[in-house]
Amino acid sequence: MSEKSHMEYRRRRVKRLKRIILGAVFLLITVPVALCIWLMCELNATENELAEITAQYEAQMQITDDLQEQLDEEKASAKEAYDELLARISAAEEESDEGAETAEVNADKEEDNIRRVYLTFDDGPSIYTEQILDILDEYGVKATFFLTGSQVENNPDICRRIAEEGHSIGMHSYSHVYSDIYKSKDNFIKDYTRVKDVITETTGVTPTIYRFPGGSSNTVSKTDMDELCEFLADEGVTYYDWNISSGDAMKYTLTSDKIAYNCISSVGKFKDAVILLHDTGTKLTTVRALPAIIEGIQKMEDTEILPITEDSEVVQHRKSKEIE
C-alpha cells in the first residue's frame, strides 16, 4: 500500500469513528430526554385521572351524606306522623268509646277534704274476675262491679263472691245489646227487670245502682235517655257514669302501663273520681294494671278508694228531668 492510500484509509477511519461517537452522544442525550418527556406526560395523565377519581369519590360521598340526611329526616317525620296518628286514633276512640263525656264533678262539699276514688268494673263477671278480686283483697280495697245479667247467669259463684267480699254490685243491663235495650222504653224495662231479678236471685241483694251500657250520654239509643233516667229514678235506682276512662274499651289493647297512667293521671282533677274499667275475657291488661292503679292512688294524700254506696256523690253525664 502506498503512502497516499494509507493516509486515505486512516482519514476514512477517523471520519467513521467521529460519526459513531457523535451518534452515540446524540442517542445518550435524546433517549433520556424523550423518556423524561414521556414519563412526565404519563405522570400528568395519572394525576389528572387521580384528581377526577377523587372528585367523583367526593361527589359520591356528598350524595351518600345527603341521602342519609334525607333518610333521617324522612324517618323522623314518619315517626312524628305515626305518633300523631296514634294520638288521633286514641283521642277519637276515647271520644266515641261508650259515648263518654267527662262529667262535671259534684265537689261542693267544702267541709271535708277527702278525695274519694271509685274503681268500677263493667261487663263482668268474666274469667278474670277472681284475679281482680284477689288483687283487691291483697290491697284491702273495695270496688264496684256493674254486672251484665247474662254473665251473672254464667258465673253465679263468682257473682256471690263479689257480694260476700263487700264490693258493690250494680246493674249493667241483661244483654248488653244496644240495639235491643235502647230500641224502646219497653225493651229497656224488660231488660232492666231481667238483670235486676238475676242479680237479686243470685246474691240475695237487690241492686240499687245502674250503669247504662255506653253511659247516659250514649248517642246510639233510639229512646230518649231522659225517659230512661226518669224510669230508673222512679224505681229508686241511681245511675252512675264515670269521669275517668281507663281507655281499656278501645278497639286495640292498651298496655297495662298506659291503662294505669290514664287512671292515675286524672284522679287529681276530681273530688269524687269514678274510674271506668272493664272486666271481660279480653281485658287481661286491665287486670295487670290494677296493682299499679291502686298503689298510685293510695300514694295520694287525703285520698281513699271506696265502693259506690247510697251515700256516694253521683257522677252523671246528664241529669234526669226530675233531678233538674
**Interface contacts to Zn ion, rule CB under 5 A:** 122-123, 213
* C-beta of 97 vs 122, nearer to Zn ion: 122
32-49 core/surface letters (b: 16 or more CB in 10 A; e: else): eeeeeeeeeeeeeeeeee
Contacting residues for 225 by C-beta, under 8 A, at least 6 apart: 212, 216, 217, 218, 318
Sole residue written with cell 298496655:
255
**Closest-CA residue to 103 (of 219, 240, 224, 220):** 240
For Zn ion, the closer CB: 212 or 261: 212
Q: Cβ-closest residue to Zn ion?
A: 122
C-beta closer to Zn ion: residue 213 or 307 = 213
Q: 122 vs 272, which CB is nearer to Zn ion?
A: 122
C-alpha to C-alpha distances, 286 to 154, 236, 299, nearest whole angstrom: 21, 32, 20
CB of 173 to Zn ion, least distance (A): 8
Integer Cα distance of 320 and 190 in angstroms: 20
Q: Smallest distance, Å, CB 305 to Zn ion? A: 21
Shortest separation between residue 214's beta carbon and Zn ion, angstroms: 7
Q: How far is the CB of 210 from Zn ion (least distance, A)?
A: 12
Question: Which residue(s) pair with 226 in the sheet?
Answer: none
Q: What's the closest the beta carbon of residue 318 comes to Zn ion, in angstroms?
A: 17
Residue 232 to residue 253: CA distance in whole angstroms: 33
Which CB sits closer to Zn ion, 151 or 312?
151
